Structure 1
Amino acid sequence: MRVERIVANLTVETIETAVEEHRTVLGWSVLMDHGWIVTLGDGEGHQLNVMTRDASAPVNPDVSIFVDDVHEALRRANRAGAEIVHPLTEEPWGVTRFFYRDSGGRVINVGMHT
């Protein structure tokens, strides 16, 4: 299994305000907008997610890690005894993902594009 991308997720109250703030300060463009989550980034692969409330999970993740084999990542998480807080799910927006809580209480979204 290979990690392909890591993106921080910021939970915000008003997505439009957060998007405008980070666009102005960082000079980034909107790369994806699902209404509840917006990915901002530049042409060099740097990205940041701002989100209000996750569309299908019970909690918002602190970070999203995209891998080339989400099934292997889930096997590893289970072997490690990690608490799975959102089961492996094929989302309608083209991502298969699960969430686990790490020992520090952070929620990690592990996914891959399907």
Structure 2
Amino acid sequence: MSIRRVMPDIRSEAMEESRYFYGLLGFEEVMNHGWVMTLASPSNPTAQVTFMSHDATAPVVPDMSVEVDDVDAAYAAMQESGAEVVHPLQDEEWGVRRFFVRDPNGRVVNVLSHQ
């Protein structure tokens, strides 16, 4: 299994202000669904940060996202290890297949692949 990108997920009620602030550092908006917005570096598109007011289909806002090439294999590995799955593996209407798992530090990780 290979990792494609890792990004922090920040709970925010200040989306516009965050877009402006991180824009000063060179980030540009690459996705916005209203409740979730991702900004990326134009020169290094995998350098990203995501802001979320809530999660549309999951019970919590994750602390970070990890995009992998095989989310099904990652899900199987986490289940086999006994890790706490916070949100089950499912296909989302915005084109990702994902699940949430709690890491040893109590942080919630959104593990995903694009469909």
Q: What range is the shorter-chain TM-score in? A: over 0.9
The answer for unaligned runs of 5 or more in structure 2 is none
- 1:58 match: 59
Distance in 2 between residues matched to 1:41 and 1:7, nearest whole Å:
10
Q: Which runs of 4+ in 1 moved over 2 A?
A: none
Give 1:102 shift: 1.0
1-side partners of 2:23 and 2:56: how far apart? Answer: 23
**Residue deviations 1:59-86, cap 9 Å, x none?**
0111100011100000100111100000
Query: How many pairs were matched up?
Result: 113
CA distance in 2, matches of 1:53, 1:92: 16
Instruction: Provide Cα deviations, 1:2-50, integer angstroms capped at 9, x if missing partner.
Output: 11111111111221222222112x1211011111111111121211111
Q: Partner residue of 1:37?
A: 36
- In structure 1, the gaps of 5 or more residues are none
Identity of aligned residues (%): 43
CA–CA distance in structure 1, aligned partners of residues 40 and 14 of structure 2: 19
SS of 1:35's equivalent?
Answer: coil
Cα distance in 1 for partners of 2:26, 2:69 equals: 29
Q: Aligned residue for 2:26? A: 27
Aligned equivalent of 1:74? 75
CA RMSD, Structure 1 to Structure 2 (Å): 0.9
Report the TM-score, using the length of structure 1 for normalisation: 0.95
1:89 maps to 2:79: no
Aligned with 2:85: secondary structure? strand
Q: Distance in 1 between matches of 2:113 and 2:6?
A: 11
Question: How far apart, in 2, do the equivalents of 1:66 and 1:14 lie?
Answer: 25
